[in-house]
């Protein structure tokens, strides 16, 4: 049994996490597409979330395959499915989890131009978590 003000943080590989609050809310961040990691030996083949996953909502930082898998039926409360991120800071609530977002630049190379990447600030059970994804 969990305390009234507790949460769980489950790491899934790459920059994917699931944050579950004691109220039953489960928020996923940057789920990766199966097969997106041919180079990564420490990332499991499957997200392990079940079929269908019991998630309250999903956050997506940018539209690369290792950050933007959206399971059927899971609402995306902030989704980046195009080449742009809305540059307007926002604050929303999913159960007892407060979500803030702002944009940063995705890291760039000499070959690739920079693009925008969403940074998320999550508050749950009195703890703040910052998810940078691939902020440069």
The 10s digit of each residue's pLDDT in 98-115 is 998 877 767 766 666 667
64 domain-assigned: yes
1 domain-assigned: no
CA 23/CA 88 separation, integer angstroms: 29
2 domain-assigned: no
Mean model confidence pLDDT for the chain? 78
- At 98, which CATH number? 3.60.15.10
CA 22/CA 6 separation, integer angstroms: 6
Number of domains in the chain: 1
98 domain-assigned: yes
Global pTM reads 0.79
112 domain-assigned: yes
Determine the pLDDT at residue 53. 63
Categorize the per-residue pLDDT at 12 as very low, low, confident or very high, splitting at 50, 70 and 90. confident
CA 27/CA 30 separation, integer angstroms: 10
Determine the pLDDT at residue 81. 46
Determine the pLDDT at residue 102. 79
């Amino acid at each position: 049994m969990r305390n009234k003000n507790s949460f769980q943080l489950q790491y899934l590989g790459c920059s994917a996490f699931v944050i579950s609050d004691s109220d039953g809310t489960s928020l996923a961040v940057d789920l990766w597409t199966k097969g997106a990691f041919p180079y990564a030996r420490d990332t499991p083949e499957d997200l392990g979330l079940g079929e269908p996953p019991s998630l309250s909502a999903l956050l997506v930082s940018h539209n690369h395959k290792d950050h933007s898998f959206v399971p059927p039926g899971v609402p995306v409360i902030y989704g980046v499915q195009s080449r742009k991120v809305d540059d307007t800071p926002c604050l929303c609530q999913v159960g007892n989890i407060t979500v803030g977002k702002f944009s940063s630049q995705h890291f760039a190379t000499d070959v690739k131009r920079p693009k925008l990447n969403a940074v998320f600030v999550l508050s749950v059970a009195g703890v703040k978590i910052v998810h940078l994804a691939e902020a440069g």
